[in-house]
């Protein structure tokens, strides 16, 4: 449990510490920004437990200042493109969580000094799901949600065919 908290605290501190740490001795990670890979958060089986592993809290403020660009439909098994940006000041971390995946936390980003708080990537969405984007900014958590409908091979959107 201590390990969980340590990883979460380290991750939470990334944004503010990145400036100072750039000049410091390199850590085990090549970019020197995250001391480790937050295994407890990536292994978490719910959005809430992933956030708890990262920050020790599930208290988030819903906001449209986190902008999610996600297709309405995606093919089953496809890698779904997602683009995220935010107008929030002092962004420290951006997390993409796919609620219905067995391990919802897909990817975490640390926008660094001089980088714009936007990123585009692809994530695996195993079935029709909310996608929660959680942004750590100025020491607080903000989130917005979009959903993607995963269509089966027969194009039967959102409906499970028995058998």
User: What DSSP state is assigned to residue 40?
Assistant: H
- Which of 115, 138 has the CB closer to other proteins? 115
Instruction: Classify 3 as helix, strand or coil.
Output: helix
Q: How far is the CB of 156 from other proteins (least distance, A)?
A: 23
Q: Is there binding between residue 79 and other proteins (CB under 8 A)?
A: yes
Question: Which residues make beta-bridge pairs with 151?
Answer: 75
Give the residue from 10, 154, 151 showing the smallest Cα distance to 71: 151
* Of positions 9, 45, 69, 120, contacts other proteins by CB under 8 A: 120
Residues 12-41 that bind other proteins (CB under 8 A): 14, 18, 22, 29-34, 37-38, 41
Distance CA 43, CA 75 (A): 25
Q: Is there binding between residue 118 and other proteins (CB under 8 A)?
A: yes
Instruction: Classify 87 as helix, strand or coil.
Output: coil
Distance CA 31, CA 40 (A): 21
What angle separates helix 47-55 from helix 2-22, to the nearest 10 degrees? 60
Q: Is there binding between residue 103 and other proteins (CB under 8 A)?
A: yes
Site map (CB under 8 A) of other proteins, residues 132-161, x = contact:
------------------------------
Residues that bind other proteins (CB under 8 A): 14, 18, 22, 29-34, 37-38, 41-42, 79, 83, 98, 101-110, 112-116, 118-126
């Amino acid at each position: 449990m201590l390990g969980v908290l340590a990883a979460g605290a380290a991750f939470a501190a990334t944004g503010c510490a990145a400036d100072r740490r750039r000049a410091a001795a390199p850590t085990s990670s090549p970019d020197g920004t995250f001391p480790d890979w937050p295994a407890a958060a990536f292994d978490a089986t719910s959005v809430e437990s992933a956030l708890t592993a990262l920050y020790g809290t599930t208290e988030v403020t819903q906001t449209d200042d986190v902008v999610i660009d996600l297709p309405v439909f995606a093919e089953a098994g496809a890698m779904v493109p997602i683009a995220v940006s935010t107008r929030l000041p002092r962004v420290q971390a951006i997390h993409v969580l796919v609620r219905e995946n067995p391990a919802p936390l897909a990817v975490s980003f640390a926008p660094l000094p001089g980088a714009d708080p936007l990123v585009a990537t692809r994530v695996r969405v195993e079935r029709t799901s909310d996608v929660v984007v959680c942004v750590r900014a100025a020491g607080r958590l903000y989130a917005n949600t979009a959903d993607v409908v995963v269509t089966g091979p027969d194009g039967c959107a959102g409906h499970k065919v028995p058998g």
